[in-house]
Amino acid sequence: METYDNAYKKEEDELLWEIHEIRNDIHSSKSYDDLNSLNKKSIEIFNSWKSRDPQLVENK
């Protein structure tokens, strides 16, 4: 996720401003290694589901 300065002023749209601030906080708290391990774990979970239910990957 790319980060950039908040284009919204808090006075203009407080909700959009707050959402943007939260996204920037989340982005800066995540490291590349964390994302790689999350992706690896996701693939492991999907593969375990796939082995239990082959219809999950069936092309229709």
Tens-digit pLDDT profile for residues 10-53: 777 888 888 888 888 877 776 666 778 888 988 998 888 888 77
In a domain, 48, yes or no: yes
In a domain, 24, yes or no: no
From the list 39, 9, 8, 2, the residue with the least C-alpha distance to 24 is: 2
pLDDT of residue 30: 67
pLDDT higher than threshold 80 for residue 6: no
pLDDT higher than threshold 60 for residue 8: yes
pLDDT of residue 1: 47
pLDDT of residue 24: 83
From the list 1, 57, 10, 4, the residue with the least C-alpha distance to 32 is: 1
- Does residue 4 or residue 20 have the better pLDDT? 20
Cα distance between the two ends of the chain = 32
In a domain, 47, yes or no: yes
Q: How many domains does the chain fold into?
A: 1
